[in-house]
Structure 1
């Protein structure tokens, strides 16, 4: 899981290094084409992949893939316009939003402890985005919208049947983003891609597939409630790479907010593990 988080942040870093020189949809299209090529080349080596899904699972895959398109657009747009660590800190609220979403959509029981942790965690998010201050802008809203789409993606993933291969879901998401960007790129002129940007885009495609691969392998053999907290190592990578590559370091209020979000997220995961633990035999 730590390898997965490192790969995803490296993907974000490589994408951000293009600095907007390559239009957003053109970048997503190129990265998607490279990712699809790599998946085809490695077909079957990253895990089973087939299309024999039930109608219910196809519906969930469609919802998940649509959410992936929305998340990619708003996340990458925010990534180009705000510090990497700030964006990653906002994304650390996902365990909280997924828990809240499961309670609202699937009527899963959430006790007062987890609900209180969610409220405190959202206070931490407010410290990061700073509404009503000069530090608050449209890109903070884009990051929050990205969190919403990723929450929808994760909630739909939780309802998929166990028979659905993870790589089939991944391939569908990559196809959806690439297909959307194929048509969307015609709204902007095609920009020449320098050799340095080709390297960055290719590296981003490789890292994003590494992230998926490590995540899939982890989910196969690991206890989800145990390995989920290791997702927070992504924030450490974002802090380090944001400082080394872009010279960004969050202000104290952002670090405080990120700490609150991480702490409440860990508590939420801990409580979920406690409440779902099977009772000992009598």
Structure 2
């Protein structure tokens, strides 16, 4: 049976991915009228301020010195560069292709967990993870026509995301997860600000500010939940549940935009759910 710690990690991972999808939906809307670096920076400022308030409320501000911990800084760096690399590739790829490539992160994590953390993964779990990835491909239905240098750049972003998650596991457990979350928000904001120096900035309306503030709430929640998930239980069990974000994206797409999956996508959903349930309840 799966330990309580692993179960908490699975729930945190699934909820965190849903938060990221909600954030992406808001940012996608704002990106139609603002430069990407500018909106990421503004969203990052909101997220950082929010997290500082939360840290203070949780009594964690007395331990801000922990932000200088080497592993915390390393994780924040991995996350910041992974964000920018992924977004850069996304600007030049169909979103389905970029999403499919990024969803390879659990497979990369599993491979790295075996090599670095010496976790044992049985054949059944390997097959379940592979089946889940096939389900993802059936849902997003990428085409090979757009596989180019930017696809390789996106793949490097997937590797950076895996490095981020592995680094999370190495951070001392005495350091509060909320501080690790704050470090990520600060790193992404600073990098976006530096990127913004190369672009022209535009006037921001009150509505755009409000949408970005809302996105920052979901982003902060996603950061925190992902940190909690990657510090709990067996990584090779928890990692595949980032696929939950795709299920939520399908639901959100139907409710907001009226998008209905075709037969192939529904088949992928079935594989995804079946593989996830197997991984959760097995110790293969």
Instruction: Return the alpha-carbon distance in structure 1 between the equivalents of residues 17 and 196 of structure 2.
Output: 29
| Paired residues for 1:45-64 under 5 Å | 45-46=57-58, 48-49=60-61, 50-53=63-66, 58-64=69-75
The alpha-carbon deviation at position 46 of structure 1 amounts to 4.5
Counterpart selection for 2:177 from 149, 162, 166: 166
The alpha-carbon deviation at position 167 of structure 1 amounts to 1.2
Q: In the comparison of the two structures, how many residue pairs are matched?
A: 269
Task: Tell me the equivalent position of 1:201.
Answer: 212
Task: Tell me the equivalent position of 1:149.
Answer: 160
Instruction: Return the alpha-carbon distance in structure 2 between the equivalents of residues 216 and 238 of structure 1.
Output: 21
The alpha-carbon deviation at position 262 of structure 1 amounts to 4.5
CA gap 1:152/1:230 in 2 versus in 1, 3 angstroms = closer
CA gap 1:186/1:75 in 2 versus in 1, 3 angstroms = same
Task: Tell me the equivalent position of 2:222.
Answer: 211
Unmatched 5+ residue regions in structure 2?
Answer: 1-11
Unmatched 5+ residue regions in structure 1?
Answer: 276-282
Instruction: Return the alpha-carbon distance in structure 1 between the equivalents of residues 194 and 67 of structure 2.
Output: 29
Can you list the C-alpha shifts for 1:30-89, whole angstroms capped at 9, x where unaligned?
11111111222333324635245498xx332222112211332244456677568x8767
CA gap 1:216/1:28 in 2 versus in 1, 3 angstroms = same
Matched, 1:34 2:37: no
Q: 1:92·1:262 contact (CA, 8 Å) conserved in 2?
A: no
Q: TM-score, normalised by structure 2?
A: 0.74
CA RMSD, aligned part only?
A: 3.8
| Paired residues for 1:65-104 under 5 Å | 65-76=76-87, 82=94, 93-104=104-115
The alpha-carbon deviation at position 202 of structure 1 amounts to 1.2
